[in-house]
């Protein structure tokens, strides 16, 4: 059983965490009884029963506990345990608040230079008002014509404009230069290399061919993650969920339909997240209520893979810069550690991290 975990230990651990979270006694007892039932059996018999699906024939073992044992024997942390462990220490609301408090800026925002609704200055002043130390301006790249993506010439002009605006902004705050660059069909990035190299932070996103088959999408994303210019993988599944609670009317983001939902694209998340961890590229936790991307299941995978993260609003208007909490809540539920979130770092640390990718 190379690589397997100890299923009895996992069952006991779940019981302990349930107990500490003050869950109902019968739930705790279910896991303790299952652990006790298995403790008397040889490991081979447990494995054979798991393979044959006959664990539930044992007194004290139910459907849920049997599934935990089966998962454990494959060497994977049982989903149930992972879920308990992610909210360990109790209150996810408090964890989300703490994470929000630790954020110093935002790494994904749009102005009226592409499909945002407001000038750069207004976005910057709203970010100052929120207490940010920096805002990365990430307008779209040339091929996303529907969102008025910036040609190389326009991006060069924008860089000059940002430098001017930065002169006028309060001390202690600055706009960092950036782009949300399209990841093209072959995985290359939709902007000139020398320009990408000049930018402080590069977010790369898939906006086209979202229904590519899994193998093709995986290759495409892996190639982008390996690109030394890319720092953050934007809204990785591209899904659109119907937003509730927040009116998205006039929310900008002309690159997509505002009203329709869209399923997540298919890609091998384990491989893509392993590459992000290997190259030190951040997986974006997109805060937009109509995106909630990545979904929690994938977010947990990325946590386990050891990826860095960026909690980004993808704001297309000043008020949307205050959407960080939507991402913090999901991050807290999935056990994202604050120190692995790149926008909890100061601007100097963040830009040095991004620059190191291309070094």
Contact residues toward Zn ion (CB under 5 A) are 180, 205, 314
- Least Å distance between CB 288 and Zn ion? 8
- How far apart are the C-alpha atoms of 250 and 247, rounded to whole Å? 9
- How far apart are the C-alpha atoms of 177 and 154, rounded to whole Å? 13
Nearer to Zn ion, 236 or 334 (CB): 236
Nearer to Zn ion, 71 or 253 (CB): 253
- Least Å distance between CB 241 and Zn ion? 15
Q: Compute how many other C-beta atoms are within 10 angstroms of the C-beta atom of residue 171.
A: 5
Closest residue by Cα to residue 47 from 12, 1, 92, 115: 1
Residue 80 token pair? 């149930």
Residue 110 to residues 119, 133, 257, 260: CA-CA distances in angstroms?
A: 9, 17, 17, 21
Rounded to 10 degrees, the C-alpha dihedral 349/350/353/354 comes to: -150
- How far apart are the C-alpha atoms of 279 and 226, rounded to whole Å? 7
Nearer to Zn ion, 10 or 190 (CB): 190
Nearer to Zn ion, 205 or 237 (CB): 205
Q: Compute how many other C-beta atoms are within 10 angstroms of the C-beta atom of residue 22.
A: 9
Tell me whether the omega of the peptide bond preceding residue 310 falls within 30 degrees of 0, making it cis: no
- Least Å distance between CB 120 and Zn ion? 15
- Least Å distance between CB 31 and Zn ion? 42
- Least Å distance between CB 114 and Zn ion? 9
Nearer to Zn ion, 32 or 235 (CB): 235
Strands 309-312 and 201-205: what pairing?
unpaired
- How far apart are the C-alpha atoms of 61 and 79, rounded to whole Å? 17
Cβ 149 vs Cβ 155: under 8 Å? no
Nearer to Zn ion, 205 or 343 (CB): 205
- Least Å distance between CB 180 and Zn ion? 5
Q: Compute how many other C-beta atoms are within 10 angstroms of the C-beta atom of residue 179.
A: 28
- Least Å distance between CB 210 and Zn ion? 11
Nearer to Zn ion, 180 or 231 (CB): 180
Nearer to Zn ion, 65 or 141 (CB): 141
Cβ 47 vs Cβ 1: under 8 Å? yes
- Least Å distance between CB 205 and Zn ion? 4
Nearer to Zn ion, 180 or 212 (CB): 180
- Least Å distance between CB 234 and Zn ion? 5
Q: Compute how many other C-beta atoms are within 10 angstroms of the C-beta atom of residue 200.
A: 21
The order of strands in the sheet holding 282-286 is 105-106, 134-137, 174-182, 201-205, 232-233, 282-286, 309-312
Q: Give Dmax over CA atoms of the chain in angstroms.
A: 73
């Amino acid at each position: 059983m190379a690589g397997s975990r100890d299923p009895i230990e996992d069952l006991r651990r779940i019981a302990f965490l349930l107990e500490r979270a003050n869950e109902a006694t019968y739930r705790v007892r279910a896991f303790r009884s299952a652990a006790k039932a298995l403790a008397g059996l040889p490991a081979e018999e447990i494995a054979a029963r798991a393979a044959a699906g006959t664990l539930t024939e044992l007194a004290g073992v139910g459907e849920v506990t049997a599934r935990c044992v089966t998962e454990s024997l494959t060497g994977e942390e049982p989903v149930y345990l992972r879920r308990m462990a992610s909210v360990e220490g109790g209150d996810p609301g408090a964890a989300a608040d703490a994470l929000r408090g630790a954020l110093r800026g935002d790494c994904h925002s749009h102005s009226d230079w592409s499909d945002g609704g407001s000038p750069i200055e207004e976005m910057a002043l709203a970010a100052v008002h929120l207490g940010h130390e920096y805002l990365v301006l990430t307008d779209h790249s040339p091929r996303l014509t529907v969102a008025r993506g910036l040609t190389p010439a326009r991006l060069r002009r924008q860089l000059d404009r940002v430098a001017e605006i930065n002169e006028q902004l309060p001390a202690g705050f600055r706009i960092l230069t950036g782009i949300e660059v399209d990841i093209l069909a072959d995985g290359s990035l939709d902007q000139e290399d020398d320009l990408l190299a000049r930018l402080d932070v590069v977010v790369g996103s898939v906006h086209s061919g979202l229904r590519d088959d899994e193998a093709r999408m995986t290759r495409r994303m892996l190639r982008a993650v390996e690109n030394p210019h890319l720092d953050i993988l934007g809204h990785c599944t591209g899904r659109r969920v119907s937003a509730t609670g927040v009116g998205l009317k006039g929310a900008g983001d002309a690159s997509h339909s505002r009203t329709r939902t869209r399923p997540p694209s298919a890609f091998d998340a384990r491989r893509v997240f392993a590459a992000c961890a290997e190259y030190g590229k951040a997986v974006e936790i997109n805060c937009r209520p109509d995106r909630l991307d990545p979904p929690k299941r994938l977010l947990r995978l990325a946590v386990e893979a050891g990826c860095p993260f960026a909690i980004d609003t993808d704001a297309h208007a000043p008020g949307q810069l205050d959407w960080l909490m939507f991402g913090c809540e999901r991050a807290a539920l999935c056990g994202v550690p604050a120190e692995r979130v790149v926008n909890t770092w100061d601007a100097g640390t963040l830009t040095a991290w991004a620059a190191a990718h291309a070094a």
